[in-house]
Amino acid sequence: MLKIRIDTEKQTLELLDESRLVRRYPVSTAKNGVGEMSGSFCTPRGRHLVRAKIGEGLPQNTVFVRRRPSGEFYTEELGRQFPDRDWILGRILWLSGCDPGFNRLGEVDTMRRYIYIHGTPHEEAIGSPVSHGCVRMRMQDVVELFEQVPVGTPVEIV
């Protein structure tokens, strides 16, 4: 069974088949560190699962707004035009917490906080904690991961 393990200290995401490492990717987690509270802009810890996969079959540079393709495709020119935009690109793996009171329900609900694994154009920052809570990946890497994991895949964030 496939599972994902995200290490916020090492800024890595490991795809595991049982305990065997399939692939390790560099990622970027939250600039504000770890935490579960809504509005904290932190990456939530603990047991999660992939609740939804969004973007299958779309171009790798598809721009998403509120989990829907915006009709835009990321280019460096578009990035210069909107330098402060928090880009969500390529694919979305929407996470849901598994532990009520810790990362599920109420003010700590990962899914209601819209925490995703998603692509970013800021690939030079991958490996450093700079996100607003999500787990950012290189666009090519998130497409590769997306194609390998089904909805329901367990995700552990430590």
* Closest-CA residue to 146 (of 11, 9, 23, 41): 23
Local confidence pLDDT in tens for the 158 residues of the chain = 999 999 999 999 999 999 999 999 999 999 999 999 999 999 999 999 999 999 999 999 999 999 999 999 999 999 999 999 999 999 999 999 999 999 999 999 999 999 999 999 999 999 999 999 999 999 999 999 999 999 999 999 99
Distance CA 18, CA 83 (A): 41
Domains defined for the chain, CATH in brackets? 2-157 (2.40.440.10)
Distance CA 124, CA 138 (A): 9
Q: Global pTM?
A: 0.96
- Contact status, residue 148 vs residue 141, Cβ threshold 8 Å: no
